[in-house]
């Protein structure tokens, strides 16, 4: 779930890059990475909706075993709307209309509903959808070689390390950028244990308006409905 939300955040980076303080020298490598990040953000400033086919897999740190291979379709729209349809090997759906989040497991016929997204302290992964974040403000950015399981040998890859104070529940994000479009078509999310969630996006389309019903969810007949309590840090 966290992996999906973080991917959503990175697919719609919606702010301008943060400028370096005047008079502060920037290393050449950092300048190159910042330049690529700036191109990405400039493109996404003009993206209101995005859709793609996707593949997802998990790469375990120990032994490099690949598990959980899935595929499906994703739609994302500003502000805060998304729909992830997992079609193979099992049917799962994650939908948000910006206020309510539905997570449906087809095999269990169960839907988890969060009606308090704005009150969820840890729900920070969609910030970029509303233009609340900046790539170079939230991350230390550097250019890297393509990871071993990268699908494209032509993408430019950025390693993003969350800066102190950024609650992203991830150790690093390796982002593959298509040179022709400056769109992110590949993402490696690395957790604190070194395991990776690898997402690849195909047939990326921008600003092709999706029907409004795309971002709502009709609960299937006889489905079990779970509405968890919103948890907040002590003292709030």
Report the alpha-carbon distance of residue 111 to residue 103 in Å, rounded.
5
- Greater model confidence, 109 or 126: 109
The per-residue pLDDT for 177 is 92
- CB under 8 Å to 186, separation ≥6 — which residues? 150, 151, 152, 155, 175, 176, 198, 199, 200, 201
Lowest mean pLDDT among 1-5, 16-20, 73-77: 16-20
**Euclidean distance between CA atoms 178 and 186, whole angstroms:** 9
Task: Give every CB contact of residue 144 below 8 A, 6+ residues apart in sequence.
Answer: 157, 158, 159, 174
Element (H, E) at 215: none
Higher pLDDT, 11 or 100: 100
For residues 20-32, give the mean pLDDT: 51
pLDDT band at 156 (very low <50, low <70, confident <90, very high): very high
Task: Using pLDDT thresholds of 50, 70 and 90, give the confidence band for residue 4.
Answer: low
Q: Indicate if the pLDDT at residue 15 is higher than 50.
A: no
The pLDDT assigned to 155 comes to 94
- Residue 129 pLDDT: 38
Say if strands 156-162 and 172-177 run parallel, antiparallel, or are unpaired: antiparallel
What does the buried/exposed string (b/e) look like for 117-139 if buried means 16 or more CB atoms within 10 Å of the residue's CB?
beeeeebbbbbbbebebbbbebb
Of the chain, the percentage scoring pLDDT greater than 70 comes to: 75
Q: What is the pLDDT of residue 125?
A: 40
Model pLDDT for residues 43-91, shown as the tens digit of each residue: 888 888 989 999 999 999 888 898 989 999 999 888 778 899 999 898 9
**So what's the pLDDT on residue 131?**
41
Residue 212's pLDDT is 84
Give the chain's length: 236
- pLDDT score for 12: 44
The rounded distance, in Å, linking the Cα atoms of 168 and 185 is 20
Rounded alpha-carbon distances, angstroms, from residue 220 to 37, 90, 92, 93, 102? 41, 16, 12, 12, 12
DSSP state of 54: E
In the chain, what are the domains? 2-16+29-67+124-208 (2.50.20.10)
pLDDT band at 122 (very low <50, low <70, confident <90, very high): very low
Q: Which regions of the chain does DSSP assign to beta strands (E)?
A: 49-59, 66-77, 81-88, 92-97, 101-105, 110-114, 139-144, 156-162, 172-177, 184-190, 196-206, 224-226
Q: Is residue 27 scored above 90 in pLDDT?
A: no
What was the pLDDT predicted at 25?
42
How confident is the prediction for the chain on average, in pLDDT?
79
CB 112 within 8 A of CB 217: no
């Amino acid at each position: 779930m966290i992996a999906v939300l973080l991917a959503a955040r990175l697919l719609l980076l919606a702010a301008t890059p943060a400028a370096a303080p005047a008079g502060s020298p920037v290393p050449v490598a950092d300048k190159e990475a910042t330049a690529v990040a700036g191109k990405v953000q400039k493109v996404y400033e003009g993206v209101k909706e995005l859709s793609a086919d996707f593949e997802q897999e998990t790469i375990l740190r120990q032994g490099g075993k690949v598990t959980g291979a899935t595929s499906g379709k994703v739609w994302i729209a500003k502000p805060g709307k998304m729909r992830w349809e997992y079609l193979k090997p099992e049917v799962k759906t994650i939908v948000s209309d910006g206020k309510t989040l539905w997570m449906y497991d087809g095999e269990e016929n169960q839907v988890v509903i969060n009606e308090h997204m704005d009150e969820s302290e840890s729900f920070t992964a969609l910030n970029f959808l509303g233009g609340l974040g900046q790539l170079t403000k939230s991350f230390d950015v550097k250019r890297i070689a393509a990871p071993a399981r990268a699908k494209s040998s032509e993408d430019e890859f950025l390693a993003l390390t969350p800066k102190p104070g950024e609650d992203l529940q991830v150790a690093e994000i390796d982002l593959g950028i298509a040179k022709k479009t400056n769109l992110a078509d590949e993402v490696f999310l690395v957790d604190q244990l070194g395991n990776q969630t690898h997402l690849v996006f195909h047939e990326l389309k921008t600003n092709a308006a999706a029907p409004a019903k795309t971002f709502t969810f009709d609960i299937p007949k006889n489905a079990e409905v779970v509405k968890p309590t919103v948890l907040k840090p002590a003292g709030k």
